Amino acid sequence: MTAAPRLARPDTGAPEMPEARGEVSRAVRRRLRGDSGGLPDGPDVARLDPYGEDLHLALHLCYGLHHRGWSGVADALEWDPHLLRTRALLEHRFESALRHDCHDRRDADEELGALLVEPAEATGVSAHLASRGEPWQVREYAALRSVTQLREADPYLWVVPRLRGRAKAAMVAIEYDEFGCGRAEHMHERLYAELMADLGLDPEYGGYVEAVGAEALAVANLSSLFGLHRRLRGALVGHFAAVEVTSPPAAARLVAAMRRTGAGPAAERYYDEHVEADAVHEQLVRREVVGGLLEDEPDLAPDVAFGIAATGFLEDRLGARVLDAWADGGSALRTPLES
């Protein structure tokens, strides 16, 4: 086996790699560090918990190559055939589990309709934070979500060349808004970094990967899984729809949480922006992105439904993990935040 290239260009803004969480993530990490040793094979990956720490850290390391990379890791490794083979094994394990656990999904219209129905009494993490969350819990939640939110809109851009007509135009319109309408200071990922700074957290990209558990990594990995595969374009659109449709009511609750706990103006601004912007996005994504895609490719309806269901499934797992930890008086992070 040929040796892996060693060093990337300096000053790329790439984060430090987190430590391994098992044999598979350790092997992937060694490969990224330039070790030419072996990578896990099919039986190794098949033994992994599909929602566990080792698999999702390994997958996150692989996906990081397609985002900003990792500090000290060669750019050329993005297309290393050995890493790509390992990534494919990890993806198959993860996707197969999701398809099994979301097997009772409804069709795309029913899944979308279910998203639009707000329960009479909201539950979940945002409801907890709005009504009785403590400042330390607000900070933990912000750190947990940072793995996704500091690259908030990036994975959705991969689907743009795979769409056409109404779906493509509407997706680009929504993404233009997510990226600040051409102004860097208005990009949603920038607003989230400012929220973190208001909360006394490290706003650097990838700063809390080490601290978050498999549930948060799985949420982040899902959009990369869907975005990197043309065959999963329908699932990515479903994922996008689930995020945009459910965002405004959750964001309104989080605005209340930020104000009640005195989180600061930038923390409030991020969620205020999502109450307003995502209410518009919700209409566009349902009518034009999903509607346009299914008009062009009606056979993708089951994939759209799968994308919606998988998103809800993983978000529910993360929410349950967070609330269970807090109910026991403990941290929802692998490493609690410093005061």
| pLDDT for position 41 | 94
Give residue 299's pLDDT.
95
Domain end marker among 101, 119, 150: 101
Same domain, yes or no, for 131 and 270?
yes
Identify the pLDDT of residue 1.
36
Is 295 part of a structural domain of the chain? yes
pLDDT of residue 214: 98
Question: 151 and 83 in one domain?
Answer: no
Are 166 and 247 members of one domain?
A: yes
Alpha carbons 262 and 139: distance in angstroms, whole number: 12
- How long, in residues, is the chain? 339
- HSE-CB at 276 with a 13 A cutoff on CA atoms is 7
Distance (Å, whole) CA 275 – CA 201: 23
> What was the pLDDT predicted at 120?
53
Sign of the Cα torsion 3, 7, 13, 19 reads positive
Instruction: Examine the domain organization and report whether 81 and 122 are in the same domain.
Output: no
Dist. CA 172–CA 157, nearest whole Å: 8
Between CA 126 and CA 309 the distance in angstroms is 20
| pLDDT of res. 118 | 67
In a domain, 90, yes or no: yes
How much is the pLDDT for 2?
Answer: 38
Identify whether residues 223 and 254 lie together within a single domain: yes
Do 158 and 32 belong together in one domain? no
DSSP track, 83-145 = HHHHHHHHHHHHHHHHHHHTTT---HHHHHHHHT---SS--SHHHHHHHH--HHHHHHHHHHH
Out of 34, 67, 101, pick the residue that ends a domain.
101
Same domain? For 62 and 137 the reply is no
**Same domain membership, residue 192 and residue 93:** no
Residues 42 and 113 in one domain: no
CA 174, 177, 183: angle at the middle one, nearest 5? 155
For residues 214 and 169, state if they share a domain: yes
175 and 53 co-located in one domain? no
Question: Along the 339 residues of the chain, how does pLDDT read in single tens digits?
Answer: 334 333 333 456 899 999 999 999 999 999 999 987 789 999 999 999 999 999 999 999 999 999 999 999 999 999 999 999 999 999 999 999 999 999 766 677 777 777 766 665 677 999 999 999 999 999 999 999 999 999 989 999 999 999 999 999 999 999 999 999 999 999 999 999 999 999 999 999 999 999 999 999 999 999 999 999 999 999 999 999 999 988 888 999 999 999 999 999 999 999 998 887 666 788 889 899 999 999 999 999 999 999 999 999 999 999 999 999 999 999 999 999 987
pLDDT of residue 43: 95
Please state the domain count of the chain: 2
Residue 3 inside a domain? The answer is: no
The pLDDT of residue 280 is 75
Task: Indicate if 122 and 169 belong to the same structural domain.
Answer: yes
Domain encompassing residue 165: 108-327
With respect to residue 335, please indicate whether it lies within any of the assigned structural domains: no
